[in-house]
Amino acid sequence: MKPIKKAILPVAGLGTRMLPAAKTTPKEMLPVVDRPLIHYVLAEARAAGIEHFVLVTGRGKGAMEDYFDHAVELEATLQAKGKDEMLNSLLADLPKEGEISYVRQMAPLGLGHAVWCARHIIGDEPFAVLLPDVLTTGPTACMAQAVAAYHTLGGNILVVEPVPDHMTHNYGVIAPQSRDGRVIKMSGMVEKPPQGTAPSNLAVLGRYILQPEIFDILAERERGAGGEIQLTDAMAKLMQSQSFHALDYEGESFDCGDRLGWLRANVAFALNNPDLAPAFRAIVTELMDGSPD
Ligand code: G1P
């Protein structure tokens, strides 16, 4: 079984649900507490043993390349002022040279197309995909749980979580066949099923382990939901010849692609931060006491 060493992070999306902030700041650079979304997701991939990160980017997304590089003036200033702790923490978070590659998705044709754009860098090996809109917490990193499941099961793995029935139309949803603990054998999946038609309430979370044969299917450029080249449709096709399992992972997810999800993540992460939690809790309590509801 080939190990999972590379991850694709699709970051070309426009972020229309986070306008106007996402007009000039890539949505992946919006902060949760004190670091951008993409920082958390890269760290999650690293915690799963990923060594090479492929960011599929687009116009206006250059801030991410600068973020993952030295900021020479800033580092020199911090050093001159003796702010060693801050400097060392910035340096420790930097990827090593050559660990990140960037490819441009030259047209907004969908998630499947974004993944396909990274095919030459991935080559002929299984790989991970992490959608940076979604942050996860748990006893171990979500992607690491998926990699552990892959080591037992092989094939393709999708992380899922239960969502309320009225929310399923926002996600890729799996059709479960049988369940063993947290591992679910799948019989199908559908992208954004219309209300009342979802095959289950298990939504695809945005963490995948895929075999490279998916690229041949994506190359056919078939359009699906919303007129886009959907990763879910390509996976449903690959399922005819390869094994697919879903992992109902242990932890909690935060969809930061819209305002409420992003606000929820900020509150949850701040309340979980030992430096901030006591003062932040007091602020929230004060605001809640003064609010009409
Ligand atoms: C994408 C995927 C969908 C998945 C979701 C998770 O949709 O196409 O299958 O459930 O991410 O966040 P998007 O949110 O980009 O519309």
Identify the residue whose C-alpha is closest to ligand 1 atom 15: 111
Which of 132, 110, 150 lies closest to 233 in space, CA to CA?
A: 110
Cα-to-centroid distance, 133 and ligand 1 (Å): 9
Which of 149, 142, 159 lies closest to 235 in space, CA to CA?
A: 159
Mean pLDDT of 173-201: 94
Cα-to-centroid distance, 148 and ligand 1 (Å): 23
- Domain ranges for the chain, please list them: 6-258
Sign for the CA dihedral angle at 214, 219, 225, 230 comes to positive
Ligand 1 atom nearest 255 alpha carbon: 12
The CB of 36 under 6 Å from ligand 1? The reply is no
The CB of 189 under 6 Å from ligand 1? The reply is no
Cα-to-centroid distance, 171 and ligand 1 (Å): 5
How far does CA 81 lie from the centroid of its chain?
36
The CB of 191 under 6 Å from ligand 1? The reply is yes
Say whether pLDDT at 293 is over 70: no
Percentage of residues in the chain having pLDDT higher than 90: 92
- The maximal CA–CA distance of the chain, rounded, in angstroms, is 62
Mean pLDDT of 13-27: 92
Confidence band of 222 (pLDDT split at 50, 70, 90):
confident
Cα-to-centroid distance, 271 and ligand 1 (Å): 27
Residues sharing a CB contact under 8 Å with residue 34, sequence separation 6 or more, in sequence order: none
How many other CB atoms are there within 10 angstroms of residue 72's CB atom?
8
The CB of 134 under 6 Å from ligand 1? The reply is yes
Q: Which amino acid would we find at residue 167? A: M
Record the pTM.
0.95
Which of 176, 217, 222, 182 lies closest to 199 in space, CA to CA?
A: 176
Per DSSP (E only), the strands in the chain are: 6-10, 31-32, 35-36, 52-57, 100-104, 127-130, 134-137, 156-162, 172-180, 183-191, 202-210, 244-248, 252-255
Between β-strands 6-10 and 244-248, what pairing exists: parallel, antiparallel or unpaired?
unpaired
Q: Tell me which residue has tokens 């692609």.
A: 257
pLDDT value of position 292: 63
How many whole angstroms separate alpha carbon 67 and alpha carbon 26? 12
**Tens of pLDDT, residues 83-119:** 999 999 999 989 999 999 999 999 999 999 999 999 9
Mean pLDDT of 23-50: 96
The CB of 172 under 6 Å from ligand 1? The reply is yes
Q: Which fold has domain 6-258?
A: Spore Coat Polysaccharide Biosynthesis Protein SpsA; Chain A (3.90.550)
Identify the residue whose C-alpha is closest to ligand 1 atom 9: 172
The C-alpha R_g of the chain, in whole angstroms, comes to: 20
The CB of 171 under 6 Å from ligand 1? The reply is yes
Q: Which amino acid would we find at residue 41? A: V
- Measured in residues, the chain has a length of 293
Identify the residue whose C-alpha is closest to ligand 1 atom 8: 172
Cα-to-centroid distance, 206 and ligand 1 (Å): 6
The CB of 204 under 6 Å from ligand 1? The reply is yes
Which of 205, 280, 212, 191 lies closest to 247 in space, CA to CA?
A: 205
Residue 243 contacts residue 158 (beta carbons within 8 Å): no
Q: Which residues sit opposite 208 in a β-bridge?
A: 129, 158
Mean pLDDT of 248-273: 96
The CB of 111 under 6 Å from ligand 1? The reply is yes
Confidence band of 284 (pLDDT split at 50, 70, 90):
very high
The CB of 131 under 6 Å from ligand 1? The reply is yes
Say whether pLDDT at 291 is over 90: no
Confidence band of 224 (pLDDT split at 50, 70, 90):
confident
How many whole angstroms separate alpha carbon 13 and alpha carbon 27? 8
